[in-house]
Amino acid sequence: MKLLCCLWLFSAAVLVAAESIPLWPGKPPQFLENAPAEIQEERGTIRNVTVPAITLFLPPAEKRTGMAIIGLKYRLRPPHKLDNAGIQALTLLDAKRAVRLVRHRAKEWGIDPKQVGIAGYSAGGNLSMNLAANFDRGDAQSPDPIERESSRPDFAVGLATWHWRQKESPFVFQKDTPPVFLVHASNDGIQGGAPIEMPQDIKADLEKIGVPVRMEVFDEGAHGVGNLIPQRVKNGYPPAKWPELLLEWLQSLPKT
């Protein structure tokens, strides 16, 4: 199987990681001064993010397809003290910039700028859907060449998509919303987590306006349904097969 160029925060043996790449040179917009230091915990969780970034994982040249998936080290609370609408606006700013940055450097990284997607889990799934609904085409007059790029992802993936345990979708999609792939567990949201009704609502909304959408539902996994734990992958745990299902679905979409 050929591999994607992956800008997500997980690794594989065949991928070679580069350094962390900040989204903006210097301080990002709305930078939080005097914030606590960023902390990376033993299991990989990163807290107190104030400088959003991506880490590049490139497959060997002979295995690249030109497609890339963005996963993002983005800003959250804490340390930012914002209400729900405010933190969504801040994370959306980071996600838009990440897509623009990847497109701007696509040639350098061997990426097709028309095959740049984004994926996220839980709150990250919320961010993926928020970007799918609220991208822009870039500012052609900007002095920053990165800001001239479109922030529209070519596809968006939501795993255990969450919105403060809400059951109805808060997103307003358009006809030019990119194709969406959703993964959820039927037993999510029973004791916390993300109720399945929200991604079902997202799927119904997208179908109404003719946007390609696929939703994979598993009977196990709860709110951790998207986690690619090595032991799960090795043992064929059904929810851990979502990357293969995603690739199959992407390959079935009409070419644009």
Give the range of the structural domain holding residue 170, as residue numbers without chain letter. 80-252
CATH code of the domain covering residue 85 = 3.40.50.1820
Q: Does pLDDT of 7 surpass 50? A: no
Residue 223 falls within a domain, yes or no? yes
The domain tally of the chain equals 1
Distance CA 166, CA 195 (A): 7
Residue 21 falls within a domain, yes or no? no
At 158, list the tokens.
């939501």
Distance CA 183, CA 199 (A): 8
Mean pLDDT value of segment 61-75: 93
Residue 139 falls within a domain, yes or no? yes
Residue 56 falls within a domain, yes or no? no
Distance CA 126, CA 20 (A): 23
Mean pLDDT value of segment 174-191: 96
Residues 93-120: pLDDT tens digits?
Answer: 999 999 999 999 999 999 999 999 999 9
What is this structure's pTM?
Answer: 0.92
